[in-house]
A and B are shown apart, each in its own frame.
Chain A
């Protein structure tokens, strides 16, 4: 029990579970299934972008990717336009979304490395370019996803939403490369001390490069899934995921200063962020009260998670 409580991610699950319980109590349990499915569905998108952001933040102070919303928008827009509602073009659409992600990731790291721009500025400025590209490419026209994709994104398998299953598969892969693979060790080592990592023979540039590309690819994938799920891409569709992606990393117990990451916390935090809004909506809190409570609860969870266990 003690060992479990010492894990930084366990608090986000406590918080999510508590909020879930309070919300279903409102209807005496009648909303259990509906609320759980909705939470898994919408948390899935935050989880996918959150995982990418987690790897970037783990690289150490100053590393953050602010181009996630623009990447989501461009990937969704471009993929849907290429597929043009045709079921036969699904693979091409996925390829386009991934290509968008890889290109933006490479571009971001080129700005950071070759032009020596701090990541926060580099990714912010590239997000303007990417967002403009999305506006120019499709002028905000909403093209429907192919039927097969929109059915897949909105359906459930054995009661579990398909998008949550996709998020689970990606999370499992992320967990393996973080905890078991050499790449995860390198990322953590760079975040703990970049100079020491370099002296120890860690390929610092290659690892950072791969991390920014990975983050952009995950954002592109999330944008692709979200636009299939919500019936089309919109120019402002990624906007709320900028802060969300950072919030789920922090609430999930990943160190903001870098060096220590964990995958399960992203799940707890993503479910929590969705459920807390649902809870306050359910109890009829006004928007002001809702934001106030969300802020207070987040502070509480982060404080609880960052407390060092008594020796």
Chain B
């Protein structure tokens, strides 16, 4: 089975490298709904780093990024309509809403434009989806904790922004994990909105009422450092806090590891997934047979690779992976 996979990867790699020139006249646009946090900033930077050389090398004719100001689906729909009129051959989209852009996406498909959605995906069937398996992110946390703390114990859960589907999905994954490892019990739950200061405030508020034997904190990313600060401020021993690959979280982990051998686990997806979407669009334009549903690989930071991962994480950013054409072809082959 593994051999077959490797073979198919090699075959795809072999075939598509010969067909590169096919897309040299094609133009790809990035439609992005939001740029106001460090993850999105890293996403846009990665897009630039990977697409500029691709344009210079003549792989594609253009790869322009457009960001809407207001994080509104209506505004992004109008933006996509503009991109259609400007005659782009493919539109890569990080969508403000899974359903509200479907009309505009359908218009693009009808005009013969390839639409690839990633991270914030769209449900319109004619588009490609590079989705994140958020449930798996939740399950991984409990699997790690079960291995580290076989005795189980009380957990604090920090959730994301209430009402957003990502929050529900990661939470569902954590529930799955709790069912699988019944020795753990969530004794408190707060919403940290994926922001360190909000998480810090929420944890500080509930902490005085929680029992002393919290063994771990399950999180959603962007909230671990705030939780650690809240525990320290309350004068409590800091439990095992799952991190979300943010640089401030990993740096704090490194300091603790050096000081007292602190152990934890960190998981998120790389902002560089925008570059995966770029190459997927390029491959589709090139005539490659790409499945409509792809899954973004999770990026994990463990006790063993913490130093290496921290080294590739920019200041204030998120642990990043920029995908190459070969990585992308492997991902596509794996999804077949």
Measuring CB to CB, which residues of chain A are less than 8 angstroms from any residue of chain B? 23-24, 26-27, 30-35, 38-39, 41-42, 128, 131, 135, 138-143, 154, 226, 230-232, 234-237, 239-240, 274-275, 277-278, 281-282, 284, 287-288, 291
Partner of B233, one of A141, A154, A237: A154
Contact B316–A141 (Cβ < 8 Å): yes
Q: Which residue of A lies closest to B193 (CB)?
A: A240
Q: Which residue of B lies closest to A23 (CB)?
A: B209
Partner of A281, one of B195, B206, B247: B206
Could you jot down 14 A-B contacts, CB within 8 Å? Answer: A23-B209, A38-B207, A38-B208, A135-B41, A140-B316, A142-B248, A231-B225, A231-B248, A234-B195, A235-B36, A278-B206, A281-B202, A281-B205, A287-B159
Chain B positions within 8 Å of A236 at CB level: 36-37, 195
* Main SS class of interface, A: helix
The CA of A142 and the CA of B222, in the complex, are separated in Å by 12
User: What are the 6 A-B residue pairs with the smallest beta carbon separation, nearest first?
Assistant: A34-B208, A141-B316, A278-B205, A31-B208, A287-B162, A140-B38
Please encode chain B, from 116 to 153, with 1 for each CB lying within 8 Å of some chain A CB and 0 for all others: 00000000000000000000000000000000000000
Residues of B within 8 A of A39 (CB): 205
Known A-B contacts A234-B197, A281-B189; A38 and B209 likewise in contact (beta carbons under 8 Å):
no
CB within 8 A of A139: which of B41, B196, B197, B206? B41
Query: Would you call B209 and A230 a contact (CB within 8 A)?
Result: no
Tell me if B27 is interfacial: C-beta within 8 Å of chain A. no
B208-A142 in contact (CB<8A)? no
Instruction: Decide if B36 touches A277 in the complex (CB within 8 Å).
Output: no
CB distance from A281 to the nearest CB of B (A): 4
**Beta-carbon nearest neighbor of A277 in chain B:** B205
- Show the binding face of B for A, using Cβ within 8 Å: 35-38, 41, 45, 69, 159, 162-163, 188-191, 193, 195-198, 200-202, 204-209, 225-226, 229, 233-234, 247-248, 314-317
B162 surroundings in chain A (CB, below 8 A): 287-288, 291
CB distance from B49 to the nearest CB of A (A): 14
Contact assessment for B205 and A42 in the assembled complex, using a CB-CB cutoff below 8 Å: yes
| Chain B residue contacts of A282, Cβ below 8 A | 188, 205-206, 209
- Whether the pair B201, A42 counts as a contact (CB closer than 8 A) is yes
Task: Determine whether the beta carbon of B202 is less than 8 Å from that of A277.
Answer: yes
CB distance from A287 to the nearest CB of B (A): 3
Chain B residues closer than 8 Å to A135, beta-carbon distance = 35-36, 41
A226 — nearest CB in chain B belongs to which residue? B197
User: CB-nearest residue of chain A relative to B246?
Assistant: A142
- In the bound complex, CA of A27 to CA of B208 (Å): 8
CA distance A34 to B236 in the complex (A): 11
- Report chain A residues within 8 Å CB of B193: 240
A274 x B197 contact (CB < 8 A): no
Measured CA separation A36–B331 after assembly (Å): 52
A38-B207, A142-B315, A235-B37 given; 20 more Cβ-contact pairs under 8 Å? A31-B209, A35-B208, A38-B205, A41-B233, A128-B69, A138-B316, A139-B41, A140-B41, A140-B316, A141-B314, A141-B316, A234-B37, A235-B41, A237-B197, A239-B195, A274-B205, A275-B205, A278-B205, A281-B190, A287-B159
